[in-house]
Chains A and B, each alone.
Chain A
Amino acid sequence: MPHYWIPNSSRKVRQEMLRETGVNDIEEFFKDIPEQLRLKRELRVGFGRPLLEHEARRKFLEILSKNKFTGFADTHRVFLGGGVCVHYVPSVVKAIVSRAEFYTAYTPYQPEINQGILQAFFEYQSLMAELYGVDIVNASMYNVSTAAAEAVRMALRVKRGRKRILIASSAHPEIKEVIRTWVKGLNARLEEIPYGREDGELDINALHSKLSNDVAAVYVESPNFFGIIERKLCDIIELAHDVGGLAIVNANPLSLGIFKAPGDLGADIVVGDAQPLGVGLNYGGPSAGILGIQDRRELLRQLPGRLVGMTKTVDGSENGFMLILQTREQHIRRERATSNITTNSGLEAIAAAVYVSLLGAKGLRRLGEALLGRTTYFLETLRKRSVEATPLFEKGLYFREVTISFKGKDAKDVVSQLERHGIYVGPPLSRFYDAMHDCSLLCLTELHSKEDIDELVSKLALVLGGEAR
């Protein structure tokens, strides 16, 4: 049946082309498919018949409107955390990634005709390298969870013979799960390092006792899953290096306008998620995984994923950009490749580059400060109004996300009560840890005004007990 997306589907063109090809019937082309494998019926796909555009729009919106969540208008009441939070997507970012020259392009295998997109990727790599304090950042991974898993795999290759990976217990539980899945084919041992009960930071003594010269890498997050900044990151990295291991640090890019870059503190491999950099939440994906390394041969050789480099034209007259070091990749090295990754998150990487260019160093610093200010304000207000809730780690330094304890009250229950009051908080930590049944995460971003935070505290007071105003 002819369709306006398919130019040659009109009967006349089809016949003409078949004739020129020397074939009477389109079925000729499929004769080498064994008869019993040829589908003799129409597929049960769609809604009974092809829908016209306006019909499809109506259908799509009809289904989507079953969501109670109504989109941006609701975001001032969305305090959900857990690795990703509501952040504003500037119109400039949307406008640039909606340019069809970018979003309908393939991977730029032909560099001369795709200089623009290659330069954009090069700028992404460069901007992230500045932010994270490393020399090299690749053209992106799927998201931070797979970037972390690839970083661990990479460490096991770089430190061949070493089989242990030490992971901060305070790392995102889903990232830990992803790492566990991705190393299944390797003979590696993942061990967790506990965190301090008072400050939520990695327990340095525990780390010390677990370290030995069979450790390939230490993986740590800052801020960690509980929203806590690791203030002894420098020591952690040094301890890993002392036994000849690598330090892999996962940092939130928005924290790096105000906190020291992990690369500058000595991390060998850095990872992060571009989600807060104008990418949107997208129900968890797509996002882009940031993966960076220091300029060391053994690291570069094992780096997975695409990399864009700057070069010159053959005649030396002009600068240009192209994919480099492709012999690491699957389409050339096959089973000996550093990874199987092909498709990455190009468009989100561009979004991140545009976002960072738009805010500049100044805007990133201010945003970092404003985010830090919000967690502080929230915790102060909570205390001032004697709400029956406290930060789980009293001595921790929280950034953006806070782990809050409802003092024995079931967190799932509290969260659903808040939801009835139109406030989204979570995830409750019983989802990940049985022992934390009375705890929940909570996130405060630039989308929450002072009034919004006051309202959150009021609703917490209402549900948990405390002064409503």
Chain B
Amino acid sequence: MKYRQARWDEPLIFELAPNQDRETFQLGDDYFAKLGKEVLAEVARNIVREEDPNIPNLSEPEVVRHYTRLTQMSYGIDVGVVPLGSCTMKYNPKVCEDLANDDRITYAHPYMSEEHLQGLLEILYTLQEWLAELTGMDICSLHPPAGAAGELAGVLIIREHLQDKGYTYKDEILIPESAHGTNPASAAMAGFKVVRIPTDERGNTDLNALKAAVSERTAGIMLTNPSTLGLFEEKITEISDLIHSKGGLLYYDGANLNGILGIARPGDMGFDIIHLNLHKTFAAPHGGGGPGAGALCVKRELADYMPKPLVRREGGRYYLDYNVRKSIGRITWFYGNIVPAMKSFIYLMMLGPKVREVAEVAVLNTNYFMKKIKELPGVDLIYGRERWRKHEVVISFEGLHRKTGVSAEDVAKALLDRGIHAPTIYFPLTVPEAHMVELTESESKETIDEVISAYKDIVRQAYEDPNKLKEAPRNTSVGRLDALRANHPRTLVPTYKYVKRNVGR
């Protein structure tokens, strides 16, 4: 496919109209600004800002044109396929955007009394109920602002629960080495020691290694199922029994739920605590990095530990319940990220009981892709070669790299040149030269065929003319960037202040 991304030489906002002083957008009215100025004149000099910050004064059309050009040099799911593994980049329905942009949500104050916001609370409550049903859990909260925040809440629940039981010696959390990096980071934040569990050849958690690692010190295990390899944990029931027999808890990382939505539920597998990413499985957009929304769900026995407050219903009235007996406290101020939650509510309302179709097609897409891609020379699956995947598949270019010198990164950049966003690369760390590919249910057969033929073409080129691939990408807004320079302490430019300093140098 031919692809030419926009290439604006767009200056930084600071250099758009140097030395100009235009009339800017006004929100301060004359009467009060004058009054404010008078008050300020009476205030001690040492706290009054004398010099304006170095923020340019531009007209409205200039600002709009600047940021519009920047959007033209950006790539999202509405532009093309974004097969980033474990990111579940599915279509974000426009109706969700449209409705969630409602003024009554944008301008809803978090301290407005519940009586005035019954509609909004009803939506939040209903979504909580649906998520509990989808996951087989008893109680859900929309409190965590993202998945990682949900993980922190979850491991803190494990911590407090075990302390209440007197298990203060339980200080280890078991985590498979293929897990998302957030899992060990969250466990460590809550003060746990992380014990890594290897993966066996079939791509399951190595049960023997797990048995050897489990002890009286085991506080719990954090798993994502299907795993980051896209493989279902076949021995999940044994794992659950083993951990529970030692008084530990099972934590489920919901990042990969798209592969089993409506097909199997973490609650039924024995998980005690889970988080969900509404911005993945439930179609809220990623926003170029956020906002996310991370629902947290637990089994009944852990309900008393949930973060405060919970949205509850009593006699047809919705309210915020601060009376959570052993609550771990607040993970964030207020009540979580409401806007993505509104979008997920609309998404689920439109799919309803047929939500299973999502997982079926996502899994079909992945396996269709895997079947064709694994035939390419120099490409391997490493784990569970004969098994079907769920939502994603990890392919290794180790062989290709060895034979041609073309790395997973080179292949990724060559994909960009064909108008295809690259998948997640070099993850999981256990797979050398990895591409972690997730083709969600939003992708058509034709798009997947395009991705496959792009890979074919790149692999062929790798054997014929490997050096050419080192020059990719050429069709994007800029060519390949210098990561060494970007990260070196002497050439580091994290803000415009450094641009100015370096000019002086």
A121 to B13, CA, bound (A): 12
B residues in contact with A99, CB < 8 Å: 67-68, 71
State whether A140 and B25 are in contact (beta carbons under 8 Å apart), knowing that A51-B350, A260-B48 are contacts in the complex: no
Shortest Cβ gap from B228 to chain A (Å): 11
Which one of A29, A89, A105, A184 lies within 8 Å of B75 (CB-CB)? Answer: A105
Q: Which of A114-132 contact B (CB under 8 A)?
A: 114-117, 119-123, 125-127, 129-131
State whether A117 and B27 are in contact (beta carbons under 8 Å apart), knowing that A110-B416, A178-B332, A369-B40 are contacts in the complex: no
B residues in contact with A175, CB < 8 Å: 333
B261-301 interface code vs A (CB 8 A; 1 in, 0 out) = 01111001100000001010000011111111100000000
State whether A111 and B107 are in contact (beta carbons under 8 Å apart), knowing that A50-B354, A331-B181, A357-B66 are contacts in the complex: no
For the complex, is A68 an interface residue (Cβ under 8 Å from B)? yes
Shortest Cβ gap from A222 to chain B (Å): 9
Establish whether residues B109 and A335, one from each chain, have CB atoms under 8 Å apart when the complex forms: no
Q: Which of A83-120 contact B (CB under 8 A)?
A: 83-86, 88-90, 92, 94-96, 98-117, 119-120
Which one of B109, B356, B371 lies within 8 Å of A80 (CB-CB)? Answer: B109
B residues in contact with A8, CB < 8 Å: 361, 364-365, 441, 443-445
Which one of A20, A258, A284, A366 lies within 8 Å of B371 (CB-CB)? Answer: A20
A282 to B337, CA, bound (A): 8
Shortest Cβ gap from B470 to chain A (Å): 9
Q: Which of A312-361 contact B (CB under 8 A)?
A: 312-322, 324-325, 329-337, 339-350, 353-354, 356-361
A74 to B107, CA, bound (A): 9
A residues in contact with B208, CB < 8 Å: none
Establish whether residues B494 and A80, one from each chain, have CB atoms under 8 Å apart when the complex forms: no
For the complex, is A190 an interface residue (Cβ under 8 Å from B)? no
For the complex, is B192 an interface residue (Cβ under 8 Å from A)? yes
Which one of A43, A135, A377 lies within 8 Å of B262 (CB-CB)? Answer: A43
A residues in contact with B77, CB < 8 Å: 104-105
A346 to B457, CA, bound (A): 34
Establish whether residues B29 and A370, one from each chain, have CB atoms under 8 Å apart when the complex forms: yes
Please indicate which of the listed interface residues B120, B360, B413 has the most CB atoms of chain A within 10 Å of its own CB: B360
Establish whether residues B53 and A261, one from each chain, have CB atoms under 8 Å apart when the complex forms: yes
A427 to B481, CA, bound (A): 50
Shortest Cβ gap from B336 to chain A (Å): 6
Establish whether residues B75 and A101, one from each chain, have CB atoms under 8 Å apart when the complex forms: yes
Establish whether residues A315 and B27, one from each chain, have CB atoms under 8 Å apart when the complex forms: no
For the complex, is B381 an interface residue (Cβ under 8 Å from A)? no
Q: Size of chain A's interface in residues, with CB distance under 8 A?
A: 218
State whether A130 and B53 are in contact (beta carbons under 8 Å apart), knowing that A1-B357, A107-B289, A286-B337 are contacts in the complex: yes
B residues in contact with A140, CB < 8 Å: 289-290
**Quick one: closest A residue to B492, CB to CB?**
A309
Establish whether residues B63 and A354, one from each chain, have CB atoms under 8 Å apart when the complex forms: yes
Establish whether residues A13 and B445, one from each chain, have CB atoms under 8 Å apart when the complex forms: yes
A308 to B76, CA, bound (A): 18
**Quick one: closest B residue to A234, CB to CB?**
B46
B residues in contact with A115, CB < 8 Å: 70, 73-74, 476-478
For the complex, is B87 an interface residue (Cβ under 8 Å from A)? yes
A residues in contact with B39, CB < 8 Å: 372-373, 376
A229 to B363, CA, bound (A): 56
Which one of A113, A126, A347, A354 lies within 8 Å of B496 (CB-CB)? Answer: A126
Which one of B27, B58, B422 lies within 8 Å of A88 (CB-CB)? Answer: B27
A residues in contact with B146, CB < 8 Å: 142, 341-344
For the complex, is B349 an interface residue (Cβ under 8 Å from A)? yes
For the complex, is A6 an interface residue (Cβ under 8 Å from B)? yes
Establish whether residues B290 and A46, one from each chain, have CB atoms under 8 Å apart when the complex forms: no
- Pick from B88-96, B241-249, B396-404, B461-469 the stretch touching chain A: B88-96
Q: Which of B317-372 contact A (CB under 8 A)?
A: 328-340, 345-346, 348-358, 360-361, 363-365, 367-368, 371-372
A residues in contact with B31, CB < 8 Å: 373, 450
Which one of A26, A33, A186, A377 lies within 8 Å of B191 (CB-CB)? Answer: A186
Shortest Cβ gap from B16 to chain A (Å): 9
Q: Which of A227-243 contact B (CB under 8 A)?
A: 229, 231, 233-234
A residues in contact with B357, CB < 8 Å: 1-3, 6, 9
A residues in contact with B363, CB < 8 Å: 26, 29-30
For the complex, is A307 an interface residue (Cβ under 8 Å from B)? yes
For the complex, is A396 an interface residue (Cβ under 8 Å from B)? no
Which one of B38, B55, B107 lies within 8 Å of A130 (CB-CB)? Answer: B55
Establish whether residues B103 and A72, one from each chain, have CB atoms under 8 Å apart when the complex forms: yes
A residues in contact with B476, CB < 8 Å: 112-113, 115
A residues in contact with B442, CB < 8 Å: 5-7
- Pairs of residues from A and B, 9 with the lowest C-beta to C-beta distance, nearest first: A284-B334, A346-B289, A185-B191, A46-B352, A71-B103, A347-B287, A104-B76, A369-B36, A366-B28
The 10 listed contacts between A and B (C-beta, < 8 Å) are: A8-B444, A46-B348, A104-B286, A139-B289, A283-B108, A284-B333, A357-B13, A369-B34, A369-B36, A370-B28
